[in-house]
Amino acid sequence: MLDLRFVRENPEIVKQNIKNKFQDSKLPLVDEVISLDTEARTTQKEADDLRASRNKLSKQIGMLMGQGRKDEAEAVKQEVSANSARLAELEEKEGQLSEKITKIMMTIPNIIDPTVPIGRDDSENVEVERFGEPVVPDFEIPYHTDIMERFNGIDLDAARRVAGNGFYYLMGDIARLHSAVISYARDFMINRGFTYCVPPFMIRSNVVTGVMSFAEMDAMMYKIEGEDLYLIGTSEHSMIGKFIDTITPEQQLPLTLTSYSPCFRKEKGAHGIEERGVYRIHQFEKQEMIVVCRPEESPMWYDKLWQNTVDLFRSLDVPVRTLECCSGDLADLKVKSVDVEAWSPRQKKYFEVGSCSNLGDAQARRLRIRVQGEDGGKYLAHTLNNTVVAPPRMLIAFLENNLQADGSVKIPEVLRPYMGGMEVMVPKN
């Protein structure tokens, strides 16, 4: 969410940013919120003047009563009563205007970084760099669920009977591999200086609207019926929410946390054949990283975060590339974002396995996450997040890139301690 003063003083910058994100339908909101803001400030001034007058008149009444001048005191009381009625009207109007302004401000997108490429959607995202050599073996690579079934490692039919489409049972070596990847990712991030955390898996609505746009909320979040609680779509939601209404001394920054959680997503919309199996599902597990830092340090942390994911995938022998998200592919709160994509030798192309985002002070403004500087002044922190690893998609990349001609799957050295020393997974059938 933008600073209202910034919108008021820079309407053309805000409008151009909306155009750069191809959200022209939101352009009228800029003039509307500026008009509402003007009305709100006029209303507030009149209300403040009446409050000041009330205080002054109340003292005058006391003085007159003390002097025995009751008739004059009664006349002043009538003036106070009239002012009180008007003040009540103004205070009600203040609340209504504030609500309207907040609703609009929550809809106007954040100002994107000048380096973000301008494009309409994800088809115009820009490749930045490749890490590792993509390889297509000289044997056929089956679909990922077919590979898993050779290890008796997945049961989608039972999951459909129990929970419906978009769920799965993982079993045996595949389930163990899933847990091994999560455990390895946890330790990988701890070794890079991040504090490990297991957060709440449900959050209140004020946290939801603090960390994401209304559109994202509607497309992703599951609501708990009868309660002000939502299942998290990623642990970033509750991890950033941890700092709601806090003031952190500047010397304690940056706050660097890595978290494990299950994730729950509606995943609205139809998806293609390549998103069957465990590619796009309603429930999965994930290791996440978040940073709360000083504004001037967020670009540096942005680069560190995506590099962590690249390094982790490369340690597991999975080639990856980074893809700069264009303006039209950025969620409204994001300043800048890069996707990490893993190589799929079966599809002979890359696919998304993680996303790193710098949200500037947007989440901090909504959640009132502030920093106290050495001079005693307070300012908004910057927040960033990035996927360390989400095993369902990681499993696809891992199995395809480590599959051998005989159907076995080699285990990279770094993962063997988490697999009981296993060097190769041998299929059951």
pLDDT in tens, 43-53: 999 988 888 77
CATH number, domain containing residue 66: 1.10.287.40
Residue recorded with tokens 């893993």: 342
167 and 55: one domain? no
Mean pLDDT of 315-326: 97
Question: Three-state secondary structure along 131-172?
Answer: ECCCCCCCCCCCCHHHHHHHCCCEEHHHHHHHHCCCCCEECH
Residue 218 falls within a domain, yes or no? yes
114: amino acid identity, one letter: P
pLDDT band at 65 (very low <50, low <70, confident <90, very high): confident
43 and 132: one domain? no
49 and 168: one domain? no
Mean pLDDT of 177-204: 97
292 and 152: one domain? yes
State both tokens at 162. Answer: 């129990």
Q: How far is residue 361's CA from residue 295's CA, in Å, rounded to a whole number?
A: 8
Bond prior to 254 in cis (omega within 30° of 0): yes
Q: Is the pTM of this model over 0.75?
A: yes
30 and 160: one domain? no
Residue recorded with tokens 């199996």: 277
Q: How far is residue 10's CA from residue 34's CA, in Å, rounded to a whole number?
A: 10
- With vertex at residue 379, the alpha carbon angle to CA 373 and CA 384, rounded to the nearest 5 degrees, is 105
Q: Which of 59, 76, 105 is the last residue of a domain?
A: 105
28 and 153: one domain? no
Helix (H) or strand (E) holding 283: strand 283-293
Residue 114 falls within a domain, yes or no? no
Q: Does residue 154 register a pLDDT over 80?
A: yes
Q: Does residue 69 register a pLDDT over 60?
A: yes
pLDDT digits (tens, 9 = 90+) for 234-274: 999 999 999 999 999 999 999 999 999 999 998 765 454 45
94 and 208: one domain? no
pLDDT digits (tens, 9 = 90+) for 361-380: 999 999 999 999 999 999 99
Count of structural domains, the chain: 2
Cβ-count burial 87-121 (b if 16+ within 10 Å, e if not): beebeebeeebeebbeebbbbbbbbbbeebeebee
Residue closest to 141 by CA, chosen among 279, 344, 428: 344
Percent of the chain with pLDDT over 70: 94
CATH number, domain containing residue 177: 3.30.930.10
358 and 263: one domain? yes
219 and 314: one domain? yes
pLDDT at residue number 270 = 43
92 and 139: one domain? no
DSSP for residue 122: G
Q: Does residue 74 register a pLDDT over 70?
A: no
- Count of H helices and E strands in the chain? 13, 18
Q: Which of 105, 131, 166 is the last residue of a domain?
A: 105
126 and 100: one domain? no
pLDDT band at 73 (very low <50, low <70, confident <90, very high): low
Residue 112 falls within a domain, yes or no? no
Residue 111 falls within a domain, yes or no? no
Residue-number span of the structural domain to which 68 is assigned:
4-105
100 and 169: one domain? no
